[in-house]
Amino acid sequence: MTLDVAFSALPEAVGVLEGVSTGVQENREASDQVTQILAASGHGFVVQSKGLNTAQKLAARAGVPSATVFRDFDSADQTPTVIRRFLDQAAFRAGQEGGVIMMGRLRADTISALILWGLQDRASRVDLAPVSALLGTQNDG
């Protein structure tokens, strides 16, 4: 499926999220092609944190709203306790950088951890927001 077809099928989409096991960062040609398509369509690009995050920097340089995932916090079936610790770390980093992107799955333990964490005092120092709120504010390029 091409990105144009995907955007037509999902008109409410604000951007593309790079896959966790596959993506464009390992292939400069693919990265350039995706960047050109997103620049033309006005969609954003969220990439996984890998190496020097070249794909995100190239996208930012091309004017594509882009950002990097700070942490994929439940990809290894982490417990709610570990997830809450990751959320604490993210809140600290967000305070330093103005925002971070966290990625999780719809799992019972993840939802439980998010609810419990949201009830803690530390959570009151940050705002949970859609990724579109950060796109364009973390361009390192």
**Category of 65 on φ-ψ map: left (φ > 0), alpha (ψ -120 to 50) or beta:** beta
Q: What is the mean pLDDT of residues 106-125?
A: 89
Query: Is the confidence at residue 6, as pLDDT, over 80?
Result: yes
Query: Is the confidence at residue 130, as pLDDT, over 50?
Result: yes
Terminal Cα distance for the chain, rounded: 29
Cα 18 from Cα 10, distance rounded (Å): 16
Q: How confident is the model at residue 125 (pLDDT cuts 50, 70, 90)?
A: confident
The answer to whether the beta carbons of residues 31 and 25 sit under 8 Å apart is: yes
Query: In sequence order, what are the beta bridge partners of 85?
Result: none
Q: What is the mean pLDDT of residues 97-117?
A: 94
Strands, E assignment, 28-139: 44-47, 66-72, 101-103
CA atoms within 13 A on the CB side of 36: 6
The answer to whether the beta carbons of residues 114 and 86 sit under 8 Å apart is: no
Q: 30-88, pLDDT tens digit by residue?
A: 899 999 999 999 999 999 998 888 899 999 999 999 999 999 999 999 999 999 999 99
